[in-house]
Structure formats: structure tokens, C-alpha cells
């Protein structure tokens, strides 16, 4: 294989983190592609939670529109803290720039979706135990192949139990809420290895949500790097310009590839726009994607 190959992504800006209604976004895959095209993006990665079906459904439209489409996914992982006494959830993005992941990987995804379904049943029970009339079926009716907490949030809002998405997450669905249910997950280190083994590029999503002090954050990312981590999401709708600069520097220091995206969910997250994030805080150069592409060719 030659040392360098021409990148298919060209110049301009890309968005490497977006959801369709195959997971918890509100736009169909075709609508997302049309929006990316209208937003003049040079490429788009579809990164639904636990499923490639949004990416696969978007492919024909993207081909017709001449929009390079990247196969991505957002995975749930578990991070043990306090010396293993407790754990929290960390999101890992995975990008497959060259072909499909192995059957082993897609079989594992099936198990992950099963864990999600179990979590959804337990979440409904937890809400019912607190006197709320919310069922799994009602949440599922608001999603498509995959039901997530945002679908529960919708039911809670529609039934008057919560005033908004933020309210629903703060009081019932978020990690600090009394009815929070953590699904079964592999550890972040394990999922990083699984993604690498399947030929993907693992990237820590929205590192701001790790909620760590600078030293602890650096140590943890160094550990993930040793486990095979390749990239760090430096642009994200929840990253202020200061945080973006911080993560850019950290990525350079730790020899991680910088990536970025809006984490667009359509009207589920109304303040977030495809390509530009919240108040224009996301602007991801196509060169980021070129470096990822070169990594899968040479790395």
C-alpha cells in the first residue's frame, strides 16, 4: 500500500457527530443528508446510538447528493471511579472509514441493544414506583428501531410530569436523578479495544462530561490512549471556545487525533445546529477527517 493516498474529503467543514431518528434524533436519515448538503458541509458522519441503520438508510441519498458520508456510532461505556466503588457512563464514538465492521462487532451491538431494552424496562418500573404512569411501550412508540431516554423525556413532558427535556433529565432520567438506571456496559477500556479490533477509530465524545479536574482528566485520557484510544472530540456543542482550545492542546500533547461535531439531534436539542453547534461554537475543518482517514490507511 502506498504511503499516502489522496483524501476523498477535500476542503471546507464537516460534522462528525449527528443523530437521526433511527436513534434519538428527530430527522430522518434522508432529511439529515439534505440538511448537511444545504449547510454546505464537505462530509457528514452519522453517529446514532448503538445502531448503523441511520447511516445505512442515509447512504443512497448521500450518494445521490454527492455528500461523503462516514459510518459512525456512539457507544455507551462504563467508567469505574472512587477506586471501583462506583461507576459512571462515558460515551465513545467509533468511526469506520474503510468498509463494514466485523460480524463479531455487529453481534456485540445486538447485545448492547438488548442491554438498552432491559434498562428501558427497569427505567419504566422505577418511574412507575414513583407514581408516574409511564410504560416502555409509550416510550417505544416515540422512537423507531431504538428507544432512548429522550423518548422517555417526551412521554414525561406530554403527560405533564416534566416541564422540558432538561427538567425530565434533571429530575428523572439523568445520572444524578433518583430514578436513574445505569444499563449494563463494558468498561471504556474494553470498548476502545473492541472498536480497534473491529477496524474502527475510537474517540472520546464530549470530554467535558467526564467532569474531571485537569490532572485527573489528563491521567484518564493517557490511560485510554494506552488502551488504544485514537481521538478526542475537541469541538462539541457543549464545549465553550475556551474548552475547545483546552481539548485541542490536550489532544496534541497526548498524540490523539482532534475530531468534532455538533451532536445534532434535531428538535430534541433545539439550540444545536448541524455543522455549527450552539451559537456557532462548532466548526470542524475537513482536515480533521483527512487525518482520521490517513490513520486508517497507515496506522
Interacting residue ranges for Fe ion, rule: CB under 5 A: 24, 91, 205
- 150 makes contact with ligand AMP (CB under 6 A): yes
Q: How many residues does the chain have?
A: 299
Residue among 10, 12, 174, 228 that touches ligand AMP (CB under 6 A): 174
Instruction: Please report the sign of the dihedral spanned by the C-alpha atoms of residue 9, residue 12, residue 17, residue 18.
Output: negative
Using DSSP's 3-state secondary structure scheme, residue 233 falls into strand
Q: What is the maximal distance between C-alpha atoms in the chain?
A: 63
Tally of CB atoms within 10 A around 97: 20
Closest residue by beta carbon to ligand AMP: 148
* Span between the terminal Cα atoms of the chain, in Å: 12
Report the residue number, 74 or 140, with the smaller CB distance to Zn ion.
74
List the one residue from 15, 22, 24, 233 that touches ligand AMP (CB under 6 A): 24
Choose between 101 and 143: whose C-beta lies nearer to Fe ion.
143
> Binding partner of residue 264 among ligand AMP, Fe ion, Zn ion, none, CB under 5 to 8 Å per kind?
none
Smaller CB distance to ligand AMP: residue 33 or 139?
139
Nearer to Zn ion by Cβ, of 126 and 292: the residue is: 292
- Can you give the binding site for Zn ion, defined by CB under 5 A? 74, 263
How would you classify the pairing of strands 231-235 and 284-285? unpaired
CB of 254 to Fe ion, least distance (A): 21
b/e sequence 173-190, b meaning 16+ C-beta within 10 Å: beeeeebebebebbebbe
Task: Tell me: does residue 78 bind ligand AMP (CB under 6 A).
Answer: no
Cα→Cα distances 159→163, 165, 169, 180, 269, Å = 10, 13, 15, 19, 20
Among the residue ranges 8-16, 142-150, 279-287, 289-297, the one whose residues contact ligand AMP (CB under 6 A): 142-150
Determine, following the binding rule CB under 6 A, whether residue 265 of this chain makes contact with ligand AMP. Answer: yes
Minimum distance between the CB of residue 174 and ligand AMP, rounded to whole angstroms? 5
Instruction: Report the residue number, 12 or 174, with the smaller CB distance to ligand AMP.
Output: 174
One character per residue 34-73, x = contact with ligand AMP (rule: CB under 6 A): ---------------x------------------------
| Interatomic CA distance for residues 82 and 75, integer angstroms | 23
**Cβ within 8 Å of residue 73, ≥6 positions away:** 47, 48, 49, 50, 51, 52, 55, 93, 94, 109
- Note whether 166 binds ligand AMP by CB under 6 A: yes
Q: Is the dihedral of CA 35, 54, 202, 50 positive or negative?
A: positive
Binding status of residue 169 toward ligand AMP by CB under 6 A: yes
Least distance from Zn ion to the Cβ atom of residue 207, Å: 13
Q: Name the residues that contact ligand AMP, by CB under 6 A.
A: 24, 49, 148-150, 165-166, 169, 174, 265
Amino acid at each position: 500500500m502506498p504511503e499516502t493516498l489522496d483524501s476523498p474529503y477535500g476542503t471546507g467543514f464537516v460534522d462528525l457527530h449527528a443523530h437521526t431518528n433511527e436513534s434519538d434524533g428527530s430527522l430522518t436519515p434522508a432529511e439529515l443528508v439534505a440538511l448537511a448538503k444545504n449547510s454546505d458541509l464537505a462530509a457528514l458522519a452519522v453517529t446514532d446510538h448503538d445502531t448503523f441503520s441511520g447511516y445505512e438508510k442515509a447512504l443512497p441519498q448521500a450518494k445521490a447528493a454527492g455528500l461523503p458520508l462516514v459510518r459512525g456510532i456512539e457507544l455507551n461505556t462504563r467508567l469505574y471511579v472512587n477506586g471501583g466503588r462506583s461507576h459512571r457512563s462515558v460515551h465513545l464514538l467509533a468511526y469506520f472509514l474503510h468498509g463494514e465492521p466485523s460480524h463479531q462487532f455487529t453481534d456485540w451491538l445486538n447485545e448492547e441493544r438488548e442491554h438498552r431494552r432491559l434498562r428501558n424496562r427497569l427505567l419504566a418500573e422505577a418511574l412507575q414506583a414513583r407514581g408516574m404512569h409511564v410504560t416502555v411501550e409509550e416510550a417505544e412508540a416515540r422512537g423507531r428501531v431504538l428507544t432512548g431516554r429522550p423518548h422517555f423525556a417526551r412521554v414525561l413532558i406530554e403527560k405533564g410530569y416534566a416541564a422540558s427535556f432538561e427538567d425530565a433529565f434533571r429530575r428523572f432520567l439523568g445520572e444524578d436523578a433518583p430514578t436513574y438506571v445505569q444499563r449494563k456496559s463494558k468498561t471504556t477500556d474494553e470498548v476502545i479495544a473492541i472498536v480497534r479490533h473491529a477496524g474502527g477509530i475510537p474517540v472520546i465524545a464530549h470530554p467535558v462530561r467526564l467532569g474531571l479536574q485537569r490532572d485527573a482528566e489528563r491521567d484518564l485520557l493517557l490511560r485510554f490512549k494506552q488502551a488504544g484510544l485514537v481521538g478526542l472530540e475537541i469541538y462539541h456543542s457543549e464545549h465553550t471556545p475556551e474548552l475547545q482550545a483546552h481539548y485541542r492542546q490536550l489532544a496534541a500533547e497526548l498524540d490523539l487525533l482532534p475530531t468534532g461535531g455538533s451532536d445534532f439531534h434535531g428538535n430534541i436539542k433545539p439550540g444545536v445546529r448541524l455543522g455549527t453547534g450552539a451559537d456557532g461554537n462548532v466548526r470542524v475543518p475537513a482536515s480533521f477527517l483527512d487525518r482520521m482517514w490517513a490513520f486508517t490507511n497507515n496506522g
